[in-house]
A and B are shown apart, each in its own frame.
Chain A
Amino acid sequence: MSAKGADSNPYDAIVVGGGHNGLTAAAYLARSGRKVLVLERRHLVGGAAVTEELYPGFKYSVCSYVVSLLRPWIIRDLNLSRHGLRIVPLECSYTPQLDNPGLCRWPDPDQNRQEIRRLSPRDADNYPEFGKLMGKLARFAKPFIDELAPDPTSLRPRDLWQFKRAADRFRALGDDLVALQLKLTTMGGVDFLREFFESDQLIAPMSCSGIIGTMLGVNSPGTAYVLLHHYMGEIDGSSRAWGFPIGGTGAVSDAIAASALEFGAEIRCNAPIANIRLKNGRATGVILENGDEIAARSVVSGCDPSLTFLRFVGKENLPADFAASLENYKNRGSSGKVNLALDRFPEFVQRPGIGPHVRGDVAIAPSTEYLETAYDEAKYGAFSQRPFINVVFPSLLDPGMAPPGKHVMSCFVQYAPYDLASGPESWPDHREAFGDAVVDTLAEYMPTLKEDILHRQVLSPWDIEQEIGITEGNIFHGELGLEQLLFQRPVAGWARYRTPIDGLWLASSGAHPGGGIMASPGALAAKEMLRAGAV
């Protein structure tokens, strides 16, 4: 039911978009007694964190498929465990090769050393050292993801203190680490890794975390920094660990939604908004696509910055410099997703069996040259014929994802550039060819794969834009490049969830600290709104 124009008992806040961040913001606001309404365009909440049964009995984590950055303090604040959130750790990172058993990286350091020794005893010895260095650097950066972005222009004591603390921590790293940190921000991932390792079979999969969600190659400058971002994840204090949520990533969204409902928030699905309603430059509510208007004291956007400002608000209502910065904001979706329902497990020919090696993620990244070639194709507006693929078999970690003995396979694929040479809207004509390229690539390692497929879902960045609503299908609501992080996310000067429109707040992955199933943008935005007395 909508209250058309009825401002008698308006909402304290309307959250636009029921992605996991929008839901988190709603839960925190409702927890503080605010009257909150979430409006979601689709028939279910979750956004890029949804589980859907597209083929009977088989559940796909449609977009995102593993979690690492989900903040433990949010899990506790929102009682997510009680609302059914369960995360099981991935047991291995496996990089298969066509002509040898490939490489398994295990959580256990000794097991790992034994494995890497086969490639290079030197690398085996350097590996823990590297992990320790990255861990230290990540620890330096980590407080930033649990707090407001620092504001370099402010002289307020809180900001100065935050900077002083950061500076202290930075100094405490010691000269060597500071030098390393500087290298990180300028170097390409592969070059950076070559300072530590000699085996290309090891460097290739390690360099992949530097390119995820970007339109950059493993050799592009700046990708070393994104590697670090991935060392910040944690599960139960063991950093860098990835986990799989029981029930798929949709279960994360469902738990947050259940928490929000329990705190008294209202959630409405099938309720796309057309515009954010403005009055004298202030957000006063929303206008739904069906024409209904709903009033609220403030509006919180759980959608990406481009969608929020350029579509819901409109360029003409924004300050010119802000609008200009947004137009330069890099979305450039570069990844796609292929989900498969399988009749049986498609074993790897070089490491057969259903052992712990497949109870984690599998990276198709046989060499750095392979990865660079994949990028070359994308630069000229084509999807990679032999792409980087990150595979997880959710049914091996959660038996509930497929009927007994059957499996689901989640394949994250890069590169699939949004901007095809023939234009993004031509993706529907290329979608199945892209799906074929992915399956062909995988079948080289898993010879029975093609016969085992019962159902296939292919998502290009264009499909992600159409279905989930994310501009250009960028998985992180904008690249995690250095120039789009911290106090510059989404736009320099507007990193604290406020926007140039009074009463409008940004709480999505497009806000600090960025993309991934992390829930911090939503939580930090709500806390800032409450602190500022805006709701």
Chain B
Amino acid sequence: MPRKTALFERTADLMTSVAWKEWAGYAAPCNFDAHSEREYFAIRHSAGLLDLSPLAKYMVTGADAARYLARIWTRDITRLKPGRVAYGCMCDGDGKLLDDGTVACLDPETFRVTSSEAWLGWFERHSRGYQVEIEDCTDRLAALALQGPLSREILQVVTEVDLDAMRFFGVAAGSIAGVNGWISRTGYTGDLGYEIWIACEDALTVYDALLVAGKPHYLEPIGLDALDVARIEAGFVMQGVDYISAQHCLIEARKSTPEDAGLGWTVNLERVGWIGREALVQEQEQGPKWGLVGLELDWAEIEALHEEYGLPPHLSPLACRNAVPVYSEGGATEKPVGQATSSSWSPTLKRYLVLAQVHRKYADLGTRLSVEYTVEFERRTITGTVVERPFFDPERKTFTPKAAPKGASR
């Protein structure tokens, strides 16, 4: 039976549908109403509030904490300043992706690490020789995501942390609705947004205070369905969907390097002494095999294809995670050149978006590919063109009202 987060009591009460799913062993809302539409639009037009507590969370402390994290993480955590967060990933010794997540530097010897799944065993195995303590705080620490263009205004009502001055990927301690916690300007929606970290026993207080502060701004509690559409628009990959953790792969072919999964930018091969580097240097020499691309499906073709069957195109409000083959343009009779792993209609962009892993030579902007598309149980293809990712990238995501004009670093 899935466990209950500290907010279960409230989310269960707010939910008019009975739409739960399991997330890392916890019960998590898919949507609060019969559909997720309102929640999706809240993320893009006002703000959505998500219980993020099932996320795996660790406190890493000690004199060697930064050095240690710099070894298991692709980012150079020794250069991460207090008050900053770094997104990055973690590889095995063969340079294959295990997971991705964030590292927040709370003070020079205290870091909070988040990941999609639990890694305490792996963390401890590699901590020998380092002066470092690792605590799995998943059950002790609740987390909330407040995302959307009005999130700053709403959150500012309940906190004294100066949000106008907090930069993208900043983190700060402070009182939130009267309780002590941390706020980071991070999220999984590609929009202006914050994540709030508080002790489980305080979670309800903060959640309720945000609901009240958000009421005049139409804050909506949101579930995972709406989030999934938003993260695809933002072009974010998802572990277990767009790449499979090497830990779970039975065959080599299923594993991905950071480069394969579009996370190459989190890797600095010049830097030495981190797990996976040697293998990735080799990959670099041979040239990476795969690339993660954003595709836009040709809508006119989708309409025309349905028309052949006398049907109107059907647009699901849900993102799709069924992987389908991708072929070179017009090459549906040949071997696939990749796979589309996530896709969704974007109600904001009015475009059909796809995240796909394809052979490197098909990964250039403007490349036209054929993506499998099923109508009436028949497998056909639709042209997908490689476009810029993120698909949706509003200025407000990174804009800081009181910041020095220096660009925010991730």
Contacts and interface: CB of A to CB of B under 8 A. Distances in A.
A75 interface: yes
A73 B299 contact: yes
Contacts of A239: 312
A81 interface: yes
A399 B214 CA distance: 11
Interface string A336-372: 0000000000000000000010010000000000000
A139 B303 CA distance: 12
B290 interface: no
A73 B300 contact: yes
A191 interface: no
A72 B299 contact: yes
B110 interface: no
9 contacts: A75-B350, A76-B299, A86-B44, A110-B34, A111-B34, A237-B314, A237-B315, A238-B315, A399-B217
A246 B41 CA distance: 10
Nearest to A91: B38
B348 A236 contact: no
A108 interface: yes
Given A404-B216, A405-B216, 19 more contacts: A73-B300, A76-B351, A86-B348, A87-B347, A88-B45, A89-B37, A89-B41, A108-B35, A110-B34, A139-B312, A236-B315, A237-B312, A237-B315, A237-B345, A356-B33, A356-B38, A396-B218, A398-B45, A399-B45
A492 interface: no
B354 to A, nearest CB: 16
Contacts of B34: 108, 110-111
B315 A399 contact: no
A530 interface: no
Contacts of A324: none
Nearest to B347: A236
Contact of B45 (A75, A135, A246): A246
A399 B350 contact: no
Contacts of A86: 44-45, 348
A81 B348 contact: yes
Contacts of A356: 33, 38
B178 interface: no
B222 interface: no
Dominant SS among interface residues on chain A? mixed
Contacts of B41: 88-89
Contacts of A91: 37-38
Interface in A72-111: 72-73, 75-76, 80-81, 86-89, 91, 107-108, 110-111
Nearest to B310: A172
Nearest to B216: A404
Contacts of A135: 312
A171 to B, nearest CB: 12
Nearest to B316: A237
Interface of A: 72-73, 75-76, 80-81, 86-89, 91, 107-108, 110-111, 135, 139, 172, 236-239, 246, 356, 359, 396, 398-399, 404-405
Chain B contact-residue range equals 20 to 34
Contacts of B351: 76, 81
Contact of A236 (B46, B218, B300, B345): B345
A99 to B, nearest CB: 27
Contact of A399 (B35, B150, B310, B314): B150
A81 B300 contact: no
B156 to A, nearest CB: 13
Contacts of A80: 350
Q: Which of A111, A246, A405 has the most CB of B within 10 A?
A: A246
A89 B300 CA distance: 23
Interface string B296-331: 000110000000001011110000000000000000
Contacts of B348: 81, 86
B349 interface: yes
Q: Which of B33, B37, B348, B350 has the most CB of A within 10 A?
A: B350
Interface in B7-46: 33-35, 37-38, 41, 44-46
Given A86-B44, A399-B216, A81 B312 contact: no
A129 B312 CA distance: 17
Contacts of B315: 236-238
B349 A81 contact: yes
B233 to A, nearest CB: 10
Contacts of B313: 237
Given A73-B299, A237-B315, A81 B350 contact: yes
Interface in B48-78: none
A92 to B, nearest CB: 11
A520 to B, nearest CB: 15
B217 A236 contact: no
A239 B46 CA distance: 25
A283 B350 CA distance: 38
Nearest to B35: A108
A237 B33 CA distance: 21
A81 B34 CA distance: 27
B113 to A, nearest CB: 36
A406 to B, nearest CB: 9
Nearest to A247: B45
A446 to B, nearest CB: 20
Nearest to A88: B41
A396 to B, nearest CB: 8
A447 to B, nearest CB: 23
B38 A236 contact: no
B217 to A, nearest CB: 5
Contacts of A236: 315, 345, 347, 350
A72 B45 contact: no
A80 B35 CA distance: 26
Nearest to A235: B347
B16 to A, nearest CB: 9
Contacts of A72: 299, 350
